Amino acid sequence: MTRPCLPPLASITPPSFRAPAGACDSHAHVFGPYARHPLADDRSYTPTEHPAEAFIAHLDELGLTRGVLVTASASGTDNSVVIDALRQYPTRLRGIAVPAADTTDAQLDAWHDAGVRGVRINLYQIGGHAVYRNGVGIEVLEALAPRLKARGWHAQIWIHAPDLVELGPRLKALGLPLVIDHMGRMATSRGVADAGFQALCALLAEGVAWTKISGADRLQPAGAPYRDVDPFVAALLAANPEQIVWGSDWPHINYFDPAQMPDDGVLFNLLARWIPDEATRHRVLVANPARLYDFG
């Protein structure tokens, strides 16, 4: 048994600015209905059901046009809930799948036709210990890399930024665009001078990697207004604003205390503080995700 997660807030803070046409939430998950899309037996958390139509309602509430769905670790390598959502909303959604070691070319082609544009691997550890069960490791990615490259896909890497010091060269050798989740899942207490965070900034500056300025609530667990996250976002934008996208991380899985559940409106409104320049904000919300995720 795993502990059931809380659902996201039923009522959110209204957006403080109007999102530009084509704006994208580049990181979210969907779950269920569980009668059709059951969770993996071996998992670290149990979310409530959040099907595709609930995510579309989330986009509409924030005034967003597009979204990117990532197969969550609780689903293992069963990507069916994401694939079904992509087929249901083909113009609005793209997806990131978690491949099994024996994924075939036919499966990759079917996923591509549905709207998948990358795969996610789980390298997220703290102190040498995996934080979440499930996911696939770097060996699977290395084996699949030539076939992913042939399809124009990227590799989304769930990793603690300090581990980029050691693993960065191995990831670069894949020859794939890299997308680092949640700003490297840095605890703000480590500071922007942390060697791993500086390695992330260097990867962005080289044009080798992208990152998602998402998960402020997980970088600074004390809660809003997330001021301690500001220097990290500023450093990433200074490194390369062409390689940055934004995501909400809806529906905020693995929260159990209602007082800690983030407000999607507050998270979205951070963009007005982080990126006051409208042209740069358009790049992060529209142009960059359109290029990364191949929105027509």
Are 95 and 67 in contact by the 8 Å Cβ rule? The answer is: no
Active site residues: 249
Are 210 and 249 in contact by the 8 Å Cβ rule? The answer is: no
Consecutive H or E run containing 102? none
Are 148 and 119 in contact by the 8 Å Cβ rule? The answer is: yes
With CA atoms as reference, report the closest residue to 272 among 55, 60, 62.
62
What is the secondary structure of 239-257 as a DSSP string? H-GGGEE----BT--S---
Are 229 and 238 in contact by the 8 Å Cβ rule? The answer is: no
Collapsing DSSP to helix, strand or coil, 118 comes out as strand
